[in-house]
Structure 1
């Protein structure tokens, strides 16, 4: 791996790891991220977890090619099963669907006692992870959004602590879906994502109205989401 060839989303993920991190990268994809971090920070250590034999072997070879075997431990196993209790201080899970990331965190909750920071980059459905954070005593401390190779990615950073919640239930649902920090930050990439979501919701609504039986609760839910998206786009662009 040429460290300069790391994807932009993984550069951004790496930037959220504090100096001297002892972290786990779950679903490590050739261990590119742990190698990059440990090459940049001589005090960092990592566990690279892979569930399949092929990627596990690739990750081991990558670590060996950089002579980082003393600081990166590549392990074969499912999710957080590769970790000992209280072994790491940060966890990274990038490049999976939101529901899968949520399920990995849920299944491995007993391994999270010493984990101060969780950094996730879901490919879809960030809402499911935000909801998990909210329900499990993690506060979002930062979010970012970027576009790379035609895809829009969100990165969420959470730390242990009582999450602050809006009093209004609808506002909570809006922030779980669109992201409290992203809503405040705005920006072209966020607006582009909201416009794409708005187009999708309008299409789904039209299809639902053509159905022989209409689920009014679902229609009302989509109408609510359309209102939220229009609020974001109208407010931020005028």
Structure 2
């Protein structure tokens, strides 16, 4: 059986049992092979745009003896699946803007027909993915934060449910954050930092955002050596963001309410 990285293992753990999965941008096909080997999935599509990784996925699938149960297909985004063919889509390792675009294009083409679960791991722009889910009527059911090789990865589980709008309204309720900020800013923070991650604070979450604040401080220090008005304005914006991060982390240490 394949051994996955912690990141891919976390993604696999959010795929519902006996799903028919489309792994978009599958690279070497590790995730679909693992899902079939563990019995978590009954059928999978490994979609890949580039020929090199696609052939690597084909070899991986053949070596695992899963040729008849995993279809390796070349294509852009969700173009590799037919409407109703799968009920779960996984997309990992790309930017949030690209991920949202793939989902939008797939939805417009009817490729999300029959899909009830999305497991998404954007490398950057996580807020863009959360915003897309919110706008398109998906409910963000869970979030995981994984630290691996000095990097942090957020994994988002979204589902189709009848009362998604009401549940999302509760999830992104700005009153959850006890900060002296207006409601719009609090919602921005929930989208930016993750509503479930903030409701279930961990040491990994704190390390991630302390690291982000440290990066901003270093940038501010460099900008402080510039005489331009533009640099001064950007420095002030970053200083405000650092202050906000510190406030959020401070309230998480003292206010560990769970969502219900």
What is the TM-score when the length of structure 1 is the normalising length?
0.90
Q: Is the 8 A contact 2:117 2:159 kept in 1?
A: yes
State the Cα RMSD in Å: 2.1
Say whether 1:213 aligns with 2:229: yes
- Distance across 2 between alignment mates of 1:215 and 1:172: 27
What pairs up with 1:1-20 in 2 under 5 angstroms?
A: 2-3=1-2, 5-20=3-18
Q: After superposing the two structures, state which structure 1 stretch, 127-136 or 17-26, moved more.
A: 127-136
What is the TM-score when the length of structure 2 is the normalising length?
0.83
What pairs up with 1:25-40 in 2 under 5 angstroms?
A: 25-40=23-38
What pairs up with 1:194-233 in 2 under 5 angstroms?
A: 194-207=209-222, 210-214=226-230, 221-233=237-249
User: Secondary structure of the residue that 1:11 maps to in structure 2?
Assistant: helix
- Distance across 2 between alignment mates of 1:71 and 1:32: 14
Distance verdict in 2 for CA 1:121–1:81, change over 3 Å: same
- Distance across 2 between alignment mates of 1:8 and 1:115: 25
Q: Is the 8 A contact 1:208 1:214 kept in 2?
A: no
**What is aligned with 2:79?**
81
- Distance across 2 between alignment mates of 1:157 and 1:211: 45
- Identify which of 201, 204, 224 aligns with 1:189: 204
- Distance across 2 between alignment mates of 1:224 and 1:115: 40
- Distance across 1 between alignment mates of 2:219 and 2:209: 15
Deviation of 1:236 after TM superposition, in Å, equals: 3.4
Say whether 1:176 aligns with 2:183: no
User: Secondary structure of the residue that 2:229 maps to in structure 1?
Assistant: coil
Q: After superposing the two structures, state which structure 1 stretch, 94-103 or 115-124, moved more.
A: 94-103
**What is aligned with 1:112?**
112
**What is aligned with 1:64?**
62
Distance verdict in 2 for CA 1:183–1:40, change over 3 Å: same
* CA displacement, residues 171-199 of structure 1 (integer Å, 9 cap, x when unaligned): 11001100001111111111111111112
Deviation of 1:29 after TM superposition, in Å, equals: 1.9
In the alignment of these two chains, the number of paired residues is 236
- Distance across 1 between alignment mates of 2:111 and 2:27: 21
Deviation of 1:219 after TM superposition, in Å, equals: 6.0
* CA displacement, residues 146-179 of structure 1 (integer Å, 9 cap, x when unaligned): 1112211111111123232325211110011000
Q: After superposing the two structures, state which structure 1 stretch, 212-221 or 176-185, moved more.
A: 212-221
- Distance across 2 between alignment mates of 1:169 and 1:61: 49
* CA displacement, residues 115-138 of structure 1 (integer Å, 9 cap, x when unaligned): 111111112221111111111111
Q: After superposing the two structures, state which structure 1 stretch, 160-169 or 176-185, moved more.
A: 160-169
Deviation of 1:144 after TM superposition, in Å, equals: 0.7
Deviation of 1:20 after TM superposition, in Å, equals: 0.8
**What is aligned with 1:166?**
173
**Runs of 5+ in structure 1 lacking a partner?**
none
- Distance across 1 between alignment mates of 2:113 and 2:203: 38
**What is aligned with 2:140?**
140
User: Secondary structure of the residue that 1:146 maps to in structure 2?
Assistant: strand
